[in-house]
Chains A and B, each alone.
Chain A
Amino acid sequence: MKSGFATLSAMLRQRSGAVGIVLVIVHLLIALLAPIIIPHDAVAQDAAAILEPPSFAHLFGTDRLGRDIFSRTLLGGREAIVISTLSTICAMVWGCLLGIILALAGGRLDACVMRVIDAMVAIPWILLVMLFVAALGSSTVALIPLLGFSYGLSVIYLARSAALDFVARDFVLAAQVRGESRWTIAVTELLPNIRDSLAVQGAMQWSWIFLAVSSLSFLGMGVAPPTPDWGQMISDARGIMRSAPWAVVWPMVFLSSLIIGVNLSVDAWAKVLSIGQLGRIPQP
């Protein structure tokens, strides 16, 4: 186990890792500071400045309601970042716990629950989420548990298979002989041993969930207007891609650079921790 600092410097020594970390840090800084640094009110509409190309007044141009795309793009990741982070925590907590408990329990319980999980993973996550959003209405509060639930399903596989590697080892058997409860064994014996691969998996989940939130906003089911959001901005401007490419390009660049940044960082992290096979587990 390496210290946090040692891990980070090892990641930075890989070229792709350094690029990824810089991208992520820049994005986090933008998200934090956006409300202070934006030059225009991001929701103010201006009939005199509809679809203006980039200029000094509007660095990224304006959209079809005359809103400043620069300000909207800087603000456009904030809500999705918060939703993704909270959803990832939900997904990791319930996915890890259930996975480890199943690995420990084994037998019929494990087999039955895993078949149910198999069946649920077979349903595309977007259908599941759309179904819930249609029934409950779209709100940030509803999205977090929904995404946490759907993405937690794939975490179960990873946590379970990682835990299975250790279940038959002597120190676990010793704990069982000592009469420790399953819960104690899961938390004190197994969790510390699989923490690294779960953390890497969690970071990966985060980027998938972020894409999911953006997709939902693109479909009009995620972040609601007037709050600017990249997915929503791309959806709004997709019809005018030829005549006003600036309206769609910037949210796309920001969205993809964040995702690429996270992915590069996670790959580098996995290499440092010597964890392979990322992304081979079934994704919802």
Chain B
Amino acid sequence: MIRFLIAAALILAAFTITVTDAAAEKVFRRANDLSYGGKESLDPISANRFYEVNDMLYSRLVRQDDNGEPAPELATAWTSNATATEWTITLQSGVTFHDGSAFDAADVKYTLERIKDPALESPLASVLDFIDRVDVVDPATARIMLSKPHAGLPLLLMDYRARMIPEGSGANISKTGIGTGPFKIESYDPEGQTVLAANDAYWEGRPKLDKVVFTAIPDSEARNQAMLAGQLNYNTLTLDQISQYKDNSAFSVQNYPAGGWFGLVFRTDTAPFTDARVRKAMRIPVDRTEMLKLMVGEGNGVTGCDQPVKANDPFRAPLECPPDAEGAKKLLAEAGYPNGIDIEVHTADLEPGMVQFAEVYQQQVAKAGIRVKLTLAPSDGYWDDVWMKVPAAITSWSARPADQILNEAYRTGSAWNESYYSNPAYDQILDKARATLDFTAARALYQDAQRILFEEGGTFIPYQQNGLRVLTADVQGVKPLDEDYIRWHLVDLIPK
């Protein structure tokens, strides 16, 4: 009996020690929605970029401050010449990569020039391909030479993918994840668990968390249940899920102006959407105010007229588009569909609300004689296998500056030109806008581009919505801002 008691006491002691150790280590848990089906890449500029992880592994030259304005990160200062064709960037000193090598201007040159590599087919190329070359002035100074003037370069360098990697590391960056960010890769398994460990040598100070673990959970409801069960510290939410967390002191919910959107993309290169009249007819019957209310609730977003530009962007076009079912019928009749049209729309239960969005659209356009067949595709691999493959599919974007999104998603030949839209006049307007240094004149051009998209584009964007996320109550330092604004080295777990 005594032997048994001693054994029991020893086991208990060992267990207590283990528990104490685990409590001492601050592990932050998140989910990977597996939307690239396990092909999530640590290469920040890959089309399959694992951006939630990459945000923590790598740094940008320029980041956003809390108001979305350019703020120093690896660049401490930036100035342009009078015509905005040359930008001189001064770099932060004493920064090292995870492998111990020093960060300098040669890495900036390598990273920025690599974006244009046609073999990589990076979606970022359409945003930054006007960078002709980068000159290394000295280790702490780089000069970016543009092929066309661009007054807004710092805004574009804030892109969540424009992250610095070591010179010559392109061949294996997708596996190594070596950057200058607050966390480094400990193990990489997008279909299982990806574990990040604190970078003790991080130049802004050691992160407060010890580890960040990303677990693959493809189903949005399963993620929600994992959050409710305390297995995650961070998750995104839909409006109707808020009530599950509202009166629970174990969680805090953040509702923040984000400007991301769900859209419905019609491939402009595929019949019947090759006809601009059909495309417009697909978009104009919808009561966007009603749709906003049904999807996210009044006051949790801003309606728009298919502009991909968020409401508080200075370049957003002020468009009006009241529901017009009769107009849509007329356009369809002109295009050869006097008795309405049957279309198939693909969606997936990938991000919360994506299926609902398709259902609301289906009901909204029925009055214009548009009969929608909904097809639910598997969530894993949706972005690889369905989006940009089928003629009509639901899409989801996070907010980007006007110039960036108008180029990235609509310019002829862009990697993420999801509607395969091609209009030389539209491309020329964007070129002209980039070269225009006068704000009012540039704004007029960007607004013209958005008007063209409303008239003949292939993407239906009824509203931009607020972001909703839930955190466990012990999470500190995550501000109610978009994902790529979060300063991960400041995030902490402090039990209440």
Which residues of chain A have a CB within 8 Å of any CB of chain B? 43-45, 47-48, 50-51, 64-66, 134, 137-138, 220-221, 224-226, 236, 238-240, 242-244
Contacts and interface: CB of A to CB of B under 8 A. Distances in A.
Interface of B: 220-221, 224, 238, 240-241, 243-244, 290, 293-294, 297, 349, 352, 355-356, 359-360, 362-363, 373-376, 378
A243 B247 CA distance: 12
A65 B360 CA distance: 8
Contact of A225 (B244, B352, B374, B378): B374
A47 B240 contact: no
Contacts of B359: 65, 225-226
B376 A240 contact: no
Nearest to A221: B376
B241 A240 contact: yes
Given A137-B375, A220-B376, A65 B243 contact: no
B224 A224 contact: no
A64 B290 contact: no
Task: Count chain A CB atoms within 10 A of each CB in B220, B359, B373 and give the residue with the most.
Answer: B359
Contacts of B349: 220
Contacts of A225: 359, 362, 374
Closest 4 CB pairs of A and B: A220-B376, A47-B293, A243-B243, A239-B221
Given A47-B294, A51-B240, A226 B362 contact: yes
A221 B362 CA distance: 17
A138 B294 contact: no
A236 B221 CA distance: 10
Given A43-B363, A65-B294, A220-B376, A238 B221 contact: yes
A226 B241 contact: no
Contacts of A239: 220-221, 224, 238, 240-241, 352
A64 B244 contact: no
A239 B352 CA distance: 10
16 contacts: A43-B363, A45-B290, A45-B363, A47-B293, A65-B359, A134-B378, A138-B375, A220-B349, A224-B373, A224-B374, A224-B375, A226-B359, A239-B220, A239-B241, A243-B244, A244-B240
B125 to A, nearest CB: 34
Contacts of B220: 239
A220 B349 CA distance: 9
A243 B224 CA distance: 14
Contacts of A50: 240, 293-294, 297
For A43, A64, A239, the residue with the greatest tally of chain B CB atoms inside 10 Å of its CB is A239
A133 to B, nearest CB: 10
Given A51-B240, A66-B294, A226-B359, 10 more contacts: A45-B360, A47-B293, A50-B240, A50-B294, A64-B240, A65-B356, A65-B359, A220-B349, A224-B374, A226-B362
B351 to A, nearest CB: 13
Contacts of B244: 240, 242-243
B86 to A, nearest CB: 52
Nearest to B225: A239
A47 B462 CA distance: 15
A242 B240 CA distance: 11
Contacts of A238: 221
Centre residue among A45, A134, A224, A236 by max chain B CB count within 10 A: A45
B152 to A, nearest CB: 38
A137 B220 CA distance: 23
A240 B240 contact: yes
Contacts of A45: 290, 294, 360, 363
A99 B288 CA distance: 58
A66 B291 CA distance: 12
A48 B378 CA distance: 32
A47 B290 contact: yes
A48 B265 CA distance: 28
A244 B352 CA distance: 17
B247 to A, nearest CB: 11
B363 A226 contact: yes
A142 to B, nearest CB: 13
B463 to A, nearest CB: 12
A138 B373 CA distance: 11
Nearest to B242: A243
A243 B240 contact: yes
A40 to B, nearest CB: 14
A192 to B, nearest CB: 45
A67 B240 CA distance: 15
B249 to A, nearest CB: 17
Q: Which of A65, A220, A240 has the most CB of B within 10 A?
A: A220
A220 to B, nearest CB: 3
A220 B356 CA distance: 12
A194 to B, nearest CB: 41
A44 B294 CA distance: 12
Nearest to B219: A239
A242 B294 CA distance: 20
A62 B359 CA distance: 15
Contacts of B363: 43-45, 65, 226
A50 B297 CA distance: 9
Contacts of B355: 220, 236
A74 to B, nearest CB: 19
A47 to B, nearest CB: 4
A242 B244 CA distance: 7
B480 to A, nearest CB: 22
A161 B293 CA distance: 60
Contacts of A51: 240
Contacts of B243: 240, 242-243
Nearest to B363: A45
A50 B241 CA distance: 13
Q: Taking each of A138, A225, A238, A243, which has the highest tally of chain B beta carbons within 10 Å of its own beta carbon? A: A225
Contacts of A43: 363
B322 to A, nearest CB: 16
Contacts of B224: 239
B356 A64 contact: yes
Contacts of A221: 376
Contacts of A66: 294
A238 B293 CA distance: 21
B217 to A, nearest CB: 14
Contacts of A44: 363
Nearest to A219: B376
Nearest to B241: A239
A3 B136 CA distance: 98
Contacts of A240: 240-241, 243-244
Contacts of A224: 373-375
A50 B290 CA distance: 12
Nearest to A50: B294
A65 B373 CA distance: 18
Contacts of A134: 378
A242 B376 CA distance: 25
B344 to A, nearest CB: 9
A9 to B, nearest CB: 46
B302 to A, nearest CB: 16
A49 to B, nearest CB: 10
